[in-house]
Amino acid sequence: MSTVWSLQVIVLNGGSSSGKSSIARALQEILPGIWLTFGVDTFIAALPGGGDSSKAGITFEQGGTITFSTEHRALERSWYTGLSATARAGAHLILDEVLLSGDAGQERIRSTFADVDLIWVGVHCDSDVAVSRESQRLDRVEGMARQQALSVHAGVFYDIEVDTTNRSTDDCARDIASQLSPDALPR
């Protein structure tokens, strides 16, 4: 039996270098209508120093652990509030997320988007494969991929799950799209 959603927002959650951004871009191409992609990287890029300034409220620790200041979390709430207003105004969004606090992060998004239809997609990738991908990228702190590969999924409920370990991001995007009811998609 197929679930029918009235879709406004697709939330992709996975660790660093799991393939979320590539899946988001592929979904933009195959889903009907115009979908805007935003996510944690967009938010961080907008912070002072692109997230590398002490004013950004982010601390990247050895081993890939990331901590946030109280001020950063308040600004994050503002970010999600703005995105939820964009969705309520009629835009279709794909959120590319890394829920470092697992189910607590999911609840923060859920409560902000309380009146918006969300589809939760878990993007999984074997930690060794994610680490290999991470080593090819200059914009990643070493250790993030391994640390996040499982922790971002802790306690998170998903409507759809994909694994990019041995599958292309395009194939994963097609799998996601195939599980969405045509009645739920914009025309």
Could you tell me the residue ranges of all domains in the chain?
Answer: 9-181
pTM above threshold 0.85: yes
DSSP state string for the chain: -------SEEEEE--TTSSHHHHHHHHHHHSSS-EEEEEHHHHHHHSGGGGTSGGG-EEE-GGG-EEE-HHHHHHHHHHHHHHHHHHHTT-EEEEEE--TTTHHHHHHHHHHTTTS-EEEEEEE--HHHHHHHHHT-TTS-TTHHHHHHHHTTTT---SEEEE-SSS-HHHHHHHHHHTS-GGGS--
Please tell me the CATH code under which domain 9-181 is placed. Answer: 3.40.50.300
Structure tokens at 182: 């045509």
Is residue 95 a contact partner of residue 9, using CB atoms and an 8 Å limit? yes
Report the range of poorest mean pLDDT among 50-64, 89-103, 169-183.
50-64
Structure tokens at 112: 């902000």
Q: Active site includes 41?
A: yes
pLDDT 10s digits, 72-129: 889 999 999 999 999 999 999 999 999 988 999 999 999 999 989 999 999 999 988 8
Q: Give the angle subtended at the CA of 53 by the CAs of 138 and 151, to the nearest 5°.
A: 60
Is residue 16 a contact partner of residue 133, using CB atoms and an 8 Å limit? no
Q: Which of 41, 103, 163, 171 is catalytic?
A: 41
Percent of the chain with pLDDT over 70: 87
pLDDT at 181: 66
Report the range of poorest mean pLDDT among 114-118, 169-173, 180-184.
180-184
Is residue 69 a contact partner of residue 55, using CB atoms and an 8 Å limit? no
pLDDT at 1: 37
Distance of CA 161 to the CA centre of its chain: 13
pLDDT at 35: 96
